[in-house]
Structure 1
Amino acid sequence: MPRHTPARPVDVESLFPELLPFRRESVRLHPRPGSPTFRDSSVGGPLMWPADEPWPVCTAEHYDPDTTSRLEPAAPMAPIVQVRRVDVPGLSFPEGADLLQVLWCPYAHGTYCYPLPLVYWRDSRAIREAGPTPAPAAAGLPDGWYPAPCVVHPERVTEYPRNDLSRDLEEALEDRFEALLAETGLRYSSHLADAPGIKLGGYPGWRQEPCWPDCETCGGRMEHLLTVTEGEFDNESWRTWLPEEDRAAEETETRWLWESEAFNPTLLDTCGVNVYVFECRTCPHRPIGHWSDR
């Protein structure tokens, strides 16, 4: 069943025309429990991985994410997202590619103890035979840091900056933001700005100050490719971002919201950590960057 985010209850660009230059499009993936095959777009599902290509293994120094003190051995990368080009019109794919695959090592890496992602752009027509996707549980990876297999229901939505608002623009709009809240109960940051949940493109779902990485090759600022997070909404954002198909008569009850399958369909338990993957679209080999916050 497709998922549809309700129409914005107010006209954001009429109320705040200063935001128009910062408008971006993102693709909400809306993962829901299912049994995707390696041919499908999915979150946490099997990948269309070439049988003659070794599955990637992380050999970097890494630690258990719950203790950040116990050194862990090399581990196979866990499948996070696979997206077919045909399912996400509007997303920028490299020439000749029709398949995006994102994996990560869920152990703690570096000073900030974040997962280490890998990104592959592929031409699915060149894959003659697909090999098996290792089961993360069988590989001994930490529980909660890899998603349960989910089918996806991609939906293109419009976003506006939240934490990426410049200080000058935020101050210029502050009185109108407050007036809107008083009149309608709509909070710009929660209800009108950037979409929550697992998504492609648009603005990262920053919980702290933005930290856009620069490309080590060309020095330019990278673009947001993917946000991976636990929940599709929180106790405020559900009002405008919970899909119409997931709403019920008791939708205003907090208890129902947290028990809803739509809240955390992937069963991720990352201790509130968001993972962001970035890419440089200027350099031909599309180098990636990443960041995490909570």
Structure 2
Amino acid sequence: MSKDEAWRSLWVDPFVRHLAGERRLSQYTARNYETALEVFFRYLDSETRWAGDLKKVDLRLARDFVIEQQRRVSRRTVHNYVSGLRTFFKYWIRQGKLETNPLVGIVLPKLPKKLPAFMTERQVKLLIDGPMRLLENEAIPPFQAWRDRLVLELLYGAGFRVSELCSLTYGQVSFDEGVARIVGKGGKSRICPLGRVAMAVLDKWRREFSVGTAFLDPVVLSNSGKKWNPRGVQLLLKKYLSLAELPMDLTPHKIRHSYATHLLDNGADLRLVQELLGHAKLSTTQIYTHVNISRLKEAFDQAHPRA
């Protein structure tokens, strides 16, 4: 076993299993944390101060790592690296293998305030109409058309994360109540109303196209009838963005932004939107109020004679 393999087996693999098992973090968060560790250990290999002993990694060495990474990657990535490393050291302190967390007290670069991108209601309609347009032109078969329509309806109608959509089973859906019970980030549960239109599409999909509708059967299927993956959803979205002549940098998560923004635009309470999105902190949801304020000011500037 090489030195790298030994370190991974001793320190990284147990931590990654902890993330997936006990913490129940998404595979994307776990993968980002793994990347942070790989970058960090590569940096340590270039340093003599740690001498192969994690107990010798102190605040100064951690600070130097952060400074070095600011020259290489974005501020957001630096924050993600530090978040992963803090969690890593915290885990091993709880296991009794380490005594201190060198990432505590690290000063991070300020993140630029960036408002979430979203679509207008008209753009959403153009996007969601795409599968039926292709079906009418016989460009795709009914199975694919209704599957694609269902995916888009659920992303926008329920505000799902793409991972939540792909893991959705029939046992999580209450057809009588029109809701889905979702387990999101960090194992946090929430109830998502699906909406009248999405429920009608889901009901048709279940009756006419779904391979299985048992408690654990996945709702969203690939063309081969298997459980689908996030990459497939991302490629699907690109196709319909192109068809609707919408910006190609829009992602499934930006549909979620649109869902939240349109709820607030139409009078939904901020606390309610927080619950629907599954945000642990209200401050995470409050960014959408800045979107509304920005749009109000834009409308004022365009319409008021003294603007």
Q: Please, what TM-score do these two structures have when normalized by structure 1?
A: 0.25
Higher relative contact order (CA 8 A, sep 6+): 1
Higher strand share: 1
Q: TM-score, normalised by structure 2?
A: 0.24
